[in-house]
A and B are shown apart, each in its own frame.
Chain A
Amino acid sequence: MKWDEFFVTGDPMIYGADVSIVLTMVGILFYLTKYKKWKWLWDEWLTTVDHKKLGIMYIVSAVLMLFRGGVDALLMRTQLAVPEAKFLDSQHYNEIFTTHGTIMIIFMAMPFLIGLINVVVPLQIGARDVAYPYLNAVSFWTFFIGAMLFNISFVIGGSPSAGWTSYMPLASNELSPGPGQNYYLLGLQIAGIGTLLTGINFLVTILKMRAPGMTLFRMPMFTWSSLVTMVIIIFAFPILTVALALMTFDRLFGSHFFTLQGAGMDMLWANLFWLWGHPEVYIVILPAFGMFSEIISTFSRKTLFGYKAMIWSMLLIAGYSFLVWVHHFFTMGSGALVNSVFSITTMAIGIPTGVKIFNWLFTMYRGKIQFTTPMLWSLGFIVNFVIGGVTGVMLAMAAADYQYHNTYFLVSHFHYVLIAGTVFACFAGLIYWYPKMFGYKLNERIGKWVFWVFTIGFNVCFFPQYFLGLDGMPRRVYTYSEESGWGPLNMVSTIGGFMMGIAFLILVYNMYYSFRYAKRETTGDAWDGRTLEWSTPTAMPPFYNFAKIPEVTGLDHFWRQKQAGKVEKLKAEDIKPIHMPSNSGVPFIMASFFFVAGFGMVFEWMWMAIFGIIGVFGTLFYRSFEYDDGYYVSVEEVIETEKISK
């Protein structure tokens, strides 16, 4: 391999990125050394097994990825703002939309939600931790390393450019040579391990670790949605793992599962991809639904309307999510019967979804609605998500989809669903649980600015794209002619895109501003909440969460206790020593070996790949002989932490 094939050269923007990456690294190293933070970083973060800290690290990574994916988005929108623009060339544009789509879904939306699940779910079910804390750390670090491996592609070796769907044979060695596509395969594979482990971990946590009295039908909605999501993960992710492995064999070891040669079947890839990919869409939307349920109920100061119907509709959606994948390729010529069946199953998903929308509306009915920022995002969700929903039903009508397929109509639809659903939920949940994580609220006034600028920008950006789609503009084109007449609407769309970018900056400013100036919370109940996470006496729950495990008597236990004026005070004599797991550096080290193995495979340097794989197994081996049963937190320490006066 030559140097000019290893480093990406020749583009001033890339050189700029190189410089800024190096400067940031140097800056971080300098800061850590100068302020002697290395030990703190290692002890408090890199080796932690605390679900709240892992959750925060997930969220921080996700926000960084939102930035990266957002910059990609704005680069694309800049290129598309006017006809025949020369800002990006075709190859560059293709790489950007591929990394944008992949990063946004795999490395932004999913980790953001998993981060919030990590922080909140154990607290909501009254547990001290997740079922497998060490495994939880492994999940985080494999996700993080997978993301890093994918991200460096744009400066080292070149990014994948076959779309986030990586359709074969385009993604094969013959048509996409080089490391780019390998980055996609290995980055997703490594991160996928973490996701699958999270699925198992939280399934067991929710089923086994609930506080006494919390039956399944007393679980908060967010916990329910997480449970259903984990089930989907457990069924869907193995499909991705296998599909990626098969394509990796095709590219690295000359097999012919999906290739043009050797009777490979390109449609098999498309089928496997969407068998995972469609459920994936629900993996990133169901937790969002759960969050909106919590937030709407809290700020309407009212029980969720139709709790059971909400659960059943979620289970239905989860089941259906595996029965609709063909709608991604109605145009593949599968025949009238197949297309009719999948049209109907797809439209049918709209039914439980519609039920949920009406239940949310009626949760507010006869409530006392407070317009806090999390509530604004939830209202914004309802108003915008239905646009995504109804256009989804339009796309489901196969005979009409022959016209929408692969156009901006689709691009607009999935952004309406993913942004108004998932991203709005991430913002809403982040703001809502911010005091749980950091001990203070984000500023509400600045928060409202973020909401309005973002939401208006979002509509300005994506609504015109429905018309572009109906006017025949295909997705993934890097430019278009003046005569096409698509110029004006694209310009409008780009303006909207930049408004969203500005809103993101205001959000970051809000974090800084609130860190400096926000009033610190004194109790754990910042929003007058309903569920157990708000019942800890200190603003931020201590590392063991609950000094005394609560006993639950019904839905919204904490809220009903408050209404009845019967919130129990923690007494010193109730406290027993608490068993907690020890920190461990092994997950971090194991993930680092995954990086080495992955990087080796990307460049087909097998010595390096083998070294990395040996390292991974070495850490597994080491762990299996590590007899560490954790430790006990003494009663004195708990009393001290909870500030109970004897």
Chain B
Amino acid sequence: MMRRLKPFFTFGLLMAVFMLSGCSDMIVLDPKGPVGAEQRDLIMYSIWFMLFILLVVYALTAFIVYKYRDRKNHKGYDPDNEGSHLLETIWWIIPIIIVIALSIPTVKSIYSLEGPPEESKDQKPLVIHATSVNWKWVFSYPEQDIETVNYLHIPEDRPVLFKLTSADSMASFWVPQLGGQKYAMAGMETELYLQADEQGTYEGRNSNFTGEGFTNHTFDVMAMSDAEFDKWASETKADAPELSKGQYDKLMLPGHVKQMTFSSTHLDWVDHAKNPEYALDARERLGYEEKLPHSKAGKEEKKKREEEMKKLEESESHGDSHAH
């Protein structure tokens, strides 16, 4: 029997090695800010518990299966053994204890993640509105009065309060290295605090399925020093073009766009958290109609979109004033 179980053990061992060696390479376990770090700690804490449970169950299984396999001179057979109050009580109580041990830090983290990180809670957070549209992200900086599309600049060591909403499908705003996600929904606003403690560029994305362009519904987050951030913001305010309503309406059409920068925000005329119909109305104004994906018209539409995407990738210029 041991021979038969061998593949299991070898495999398990391999996986364990794999896991321990690979840990720091996995971005969720390699956070660059306090929110992600708190979540990493909780995850690692639970992983140790779970490995322990697996170990107990596997050891017990292996022992019982080996010892009581049917064979010649089988010993210890007791067919009418129906249970044991003592044993059963033990395995009602142990999982209860484990659940309590996991619940306490979980609840603590849930509450602490609702606000800005502990280490920087006396700083005023930078507020950024993140709006998801199929399949792009619009970021508005109300204080700086600037707006970017598909990229973000944030100062390091300072909490950022994201106010999330969506113009159409339900999306999820996620920057794995900075911390866990939250949904962005039309008709309402959710809030998420994140913070970067290291300079660098982090990948962010929508992780809630939003249809055809979902896979490339991504953005870059660039964390920089306070001074650099302020410089960027004021330069943008001075140099970037204003966002016109017509331009913004065009952004409401489904599809990807390159990174863009503007010296005003759409918050002046629409808040999708209060007006969930805006994007659909804009599409109607522009005469856009969603095509059946399998029809001739749908396929032509798709080809058109793909060509636009290609052109976009080929064009060297990165947005109106933004370069990196």
Enumerate chain A interface residues (CB-CB to B < 8 A): 2, 4-5, 8-10, 90-91, 94, 157-158, 161-163, 167-170, 174-178, 180, 260-261, 265-267, 300-309, 329, 331-333, 335-336, 339-340, 343-344, 347-348, 350-351, 354-355, 357-359, 361-362, 364-371, 379, 382-383, 386-387, 390-391, 393-394, 397-403, 405-407, 452, 456, 459, 463, 467, 469-472, 474-480, 485
Contact across chains for B99 and A348 when beta carbons are under 8 A apart: yes
Contact across chains for A390 and B11 when beta carbons are under 8 A apart: no
Contact across chains for B15 and A463 when beta carbons are under 8 A apart: yes
Contact across chains for B190 and A333 when beta carbons are under 8 A apart: yes
Q: Which 6 A-B pairs have the closest CB atoms?
A: A402-B180, A399-B109, A333-B190, A390-B50, A366-B78, A178-B292
| A406-B207, A456-B11 as given contacts; A386 in contact with B54, CB under 8 Å | yes
Contacts of A407 on B, CB cut-off 8 Å? 207
Contact across chains for B292 and A5 when beta carbons are under 8 A apart: yes
Contact across chains for A340 and B107 when beta carbons are under 8 A apart: yes
Contacts of A390 on B, CB cut-off 8 Å? 50, 53-54
Taking the nearest CB of chain A, how far is it from the CB of B52, in angstroms? 10
Closest to B8 in A: A383
Taking the nearest CB of chain A, how far is it from the CB of B302, in angstroms? 8
Contacts of A309 on B, CB cut-off 8 Å? 83, 88, 92
Contact across chains for A367 and B79 when beta carbons are under 8 A apart: yes
| A331-B172, A471-B25 as given contacts; A306 in contact with B209, CB under 8 Å | no
Other CB < 8 Å A-B pairs besides A90-B212, A368-B70, 13 of them? A170-B209, A174-B280, A260-B277, A300-B68, A344-B99, A351-B96, A362-B84, A390-B54, A399-B180, A400-B42, A401-B180, A472-B26, A472-B203
| Interface membership of chain B positions 85-116, coded 1 if the CB is closer than 8 angstroms to chain A and 0 otherwise | 00110011011100100110011011101100
B270 at the interface (CB under 8 A from A): no
Most-contacted residue by chain A among B27, B187, B212, B293 (CB, 10 A): B293
Contacts of B103 on A, CB cut-off 8 Å? 343-344, 347
Taking the nearest CB of chain A, how far is it from the CB of B85, in angstroms? 9
14 A-B residue pairs with CB within 8 Å: A4-B296, A91-B293, A167-B170, A301-B70, A305-B81, A347-B99, A355-B91, A366-B81, A371-B1, A397-B102, A397-B106, A399-B42, A400-B43, A480-B215
Distance in angstroms between the alpha carbons of A396 and B46 in the assembled complex: 11
| A261-B280, A303-B80, A368-B70 as given contacts; A170 in contact with B182, CB under 8 Å | no
| A347-B99, A379-B61 as given contacts; A476 in contact with B209, CB under 8 Å | yes
Contact across chains for B294 and A369 when beta carbons are under 8 A apart: no
Contacts of A368 on B, CB cut-off 8 Å? 68, 70, 74, 77, 79
| Interface membership of chain B positions 51-87, coded 1 if the CB is closer than 8 angstroms to chain A and 0 otherwise | 0011001101100110011100010111111111001
Taking the nearest CB of chain B, how far is it from the CB of A97, in angstroms? 9
Contact across chains for B106 and A340 when beta carbons are under 8 A apart: yes
Contact across chains for B61 and A370 when beta carbons are under 8 A apart: no
Contacts of B95 on A, CB cut-off 8 Å? 350-351, 354-355
Number of contacting residues on B, CB 8 A? 101
Distance in angstroms between the alpha carbons of A479 and B218 in the assembled complex: 13
Contact across chains for B183 and A329 when beta carbons are under 8 A apart: yes
Taking the nearest CB of chain B, how far is it from the CB of A13, in angstroms? 13
Closest to A398 in B: B110
Contacts of B99 on A, CB cut-off 8 Å? 344, 347-348, 350-351, 393
Distance in angstroms between the alpha carbons of A620 and B181 in the assembled complex: 51
Contact across chains for B182 and A331 when beta carbons are under 8 A apart: yes
Distance in angstroms between the alpha carbons of A479 and B27 in the assembled complex: 19
| A94-B211, A366-B77 as given contacts; A397 in contact with B113, CB under 8 Å | no
Taking the nearest CB of chain B, how far is it from the CB of A463, in angstroms? 6
Contact across chains for A266 and B172 when beta carbons are under 8 A apart: no
Contact across chains for B207 and A361 when beta carbons are under 8 A apart: no
B253 at the interface (CB under 8 A from A): no
Contact across chains for B106 and A331 when beta carbons are under 8 A apart: no
Distance in angstroms between the alpha carbons of A351 and B53 in the assembled complex: 12
Contact across chains for A366 and B107 when beta carbons are under 8 A apart: no
Contact of A383 (CB < 8 Å), options: B22, B42, B58, B81: B58
Distance in angstroms between the alpha carbons of A270 and B15 in the assembled complex: 35
Enumerate chain B interface residues (CB-CB to A < 8 A): 1, 4, 7-8, 11, 15, 18-19, 22, 25-29, 36, 38-39, 42-43, 46-47, 50, 53-54, 57-58, 60-61, 64-65, 68-70, 74, 76-84, 87-88, 91-92, 94-96, 99, 102-103, 106-107, 109-111, 113-114, 134, 168-170, 172, 174, 176, 179-183, 185-187, 190-191, 203, 205, 207-215, 276-277, 279-280, 290-296, 299, 302
Taking the nearest CB of chain B, how far is it from the CB of A408, in angstroms? 11
Contacts of B174 on A, CB cut-off 8 Å? 406, 474
Contact across chains for A394 and B50 when beta carbons are under 8 A apart: yes
Most-contacted residue by chain B among A340, A394, A403 (CB, 10 A): A403
Contacts of B292 on A, CB cut-off 8 Å? 5, 158, 177-178
Contacts of A157 on B, CB cut-off 8 Å? 294
Contact across chains for A90 and B114 when beta carbons are under 8 A apart: no
Contact of B293 (CB < 8 Å), options: A178, A351, A405: A178
Contacts of A344 on B, CB cut-off 8 Å? 99, 103, 107
Taking the nearest CB of chain A, how far is it from the CB of B304, in angstroms? 14
Distance in angstroms between the alpha carbons of A455 and B102 in the assembled complex: 30
Contact of B111 (CB < 8 Å), options: A5, A10, A340: A340
Contact across chains for A365 and B64 when beta carbons are under 8 A apart: yes
Taking the nearest CB of chain A, how far is it from the CB of B63, in angstroms? 9
Distance in angstroms between the alpha carbons of A401 and B181 in the assembled complex: 9
Distance in angstroms between the alpha carbons of A379 and B62 in the assembled complex: 10
